[in-house]
Structure 1
């Protein structure tokens, strides 16, 4: 959490209650954040960003007058543009977020898991850099920093698992497990957020609050309820295919790995 100490945040939402809810939730989870301003229209948001140069700007997509997307396009021209996180009640609008180099998006009503996901991504970006973000945060993260091997307890020894041999990492009953390509399951002390930040980001995708998947193992994608997807993985050593859901909040991110 120390990497987020004094990180400056701007919030823009024409719905004052929603802006207040997001502000309260951010500070509840990350009390060291510095909320430097809350705007209720696009022009005010741009003024706040140009005046205070925040690290992150949470922008409501659907604002009257100037939408969050239009605000983001203008912020790109700033000398030190913030990382942009869009807020929307409709995930279909969020697909447009990446056309303006947004770091990510969150859905209304706000969810603690969503907040932790985007702030975890921003913290990872800071950890791998010695400076503040100079762009909207959509640059590819250095792959050389990723952890390639993990140790797990097996009896009185530590077994080493190569990241290439991991099929999925999943949470169940408040515990986290690694499932390998040969069908073995290993309990681990790391959290899913730890794996999301440590695994090579070009090959592993946090597709659900309870799953991180090796994208090289995806064989098929099926449509799922609530505009989501179901990933059907290749058959492993067990001869069975694993099915992994893609959470509604993660669906747009899937397009960074697979052309849908």
Structure 2
């Protein structure tokens, strides 16, 4: 199977070197486009729908981590999975621990042949596991990509501790209420509004899911669909419908939430 990739680095010589090294260790990898910054990487991902994005950590416009956050929010189509992410970095003091979780991979500059071979082998296995719906080996990939990206952001900016929403101002009928985030069971969006569901009330806000992802604690709220965030503590179980789609049960409700293919890895082994 040919794996298609996008390569993003603001230094042309680094792109050329990485492309040449990849050709040595991974001859069947097809680099379909190259980006000079994070914004280009996001746009090229929309256009080409690659299997893999190789992103330099330090880029103008958007950093590699910021670009990865936006890529994780893309709607590439019903049957198109989000790409795997590999970060390219000259610094290992903040990278190694987080990347070894297995959600993403990393390559240190200058890219060594042996390390690229290891990355190639890991990505091939992960893509094969996704296609067979068996999950990544070892289990680390069962953590949401948002958790890794938030963690990396804090490591890149150690003086900026993340502050997450504690209250949501939402409309309930004709009233405006302040709802504690901890009481929210899930958020689900349509084209205009986002529904805020608690055990007692159903409320509406205008904030889209792609903004909420960055404002909510990723350890408490998992994204399971481009339009849905669920409170981990509210999950009662996982089932499948007649089409084989995963459905999340929510405590106290009969409603079930669909898990899109890009997020099925969250529930491997359940």
Normalising by structure 1, report the TM-score.
Answer: 0.53
Please provide the CA RMSD for this pair.
4.8
Matches within 5 A, 1:107-122: none
Post-superposition Cα deviations, 1:37-71, rounded to whole Å, max 9, x if no partner, equal xxxxxxxxx9x958x55978579xxxxx9464756
Q: Does 1:26 align with 2:46?
A: no
Q: CA deviation at 1:188?
A: 1.4
1:206 counterpart SS class: strand
Post-superposition Cα deviations, 1:81-101, rounded to whole Å, max 9, x if no partner, equal xxxxx65662646522754x7
Correspondence for 2:188: 170
Q: Aligned to 2:151, which of 113, 125, 128?
A: 125
Q: CA deviation at 1:210?
A: 1.4
Q: Aligned to 1:230, which of 241, 247, 250?
A: 247
2:194 counterpart SS class: strand
Correspondence for 2:258: 245
Q: Aligned to 2:165, which of 147, 163, 173?
A: 147
Q: Does 1:207 align with 2:224?
A: yes
When residues 227 and 26 of structure 1 are mapped into structure 2, their CA distance, relative to the original with a 3 A threshold, is farther
When residues 14 and 220 of structure 1 are mapped into structure 2, their CA distance, relative to the original with a 3 A threshold, is same
When residues 147 and 49 of structure 1 are mapped into structure 2, their CA distance, relative to the original with a 3 A threshold, is closer
Q: CA deviation at 1:229?
A: 1.5
1:128 counterpart SS class: helix
Q: Does 1:95 align with 2:112?
A: no
In terms of mean alpha carbon deviation, does 184-193 or 161-170 score higher?
A: 184-193
| Cα contact 1:204–1:214 (8 A) shared by 2 | yes
Q: CA deviation at 1:220?
A: 2.5
| Cα contact 1:167–1:181 (8 A) shared by 2 | yes
Q: Aligned equivalents of 1:96 and 1:28: distance in 2?
A: 31
2:185 counterpart SS class: strand
Q: CA deviation at 1:231?
A: 1.1
**Paired residues, number:** 193
Q: CA deviation at 1:126?
A: 4.7
When residues 25 and 195 of structure 1 are mapped into structure 2, their CA distance, relative to the original with a 3 A threshold, is same
Q: Aligned equivalents of 2:242 and 2:138: distance in 1?
A: 23
When residues 250 and 97 of structure 1 are mapped into structure 2, their CA distance, relative to the original with a 3 A threshold, is farther
Q: Aligned equivalents of 2:260 and 2:191: distance in 1?
A: 18
Q: Does 1:189 align with 2:230?
A: no
Q: Aligned equivalents of 1:123 and 1:253: distance in 2?
A: 16
Q: CA deviation at 1:124?
A: 3.2
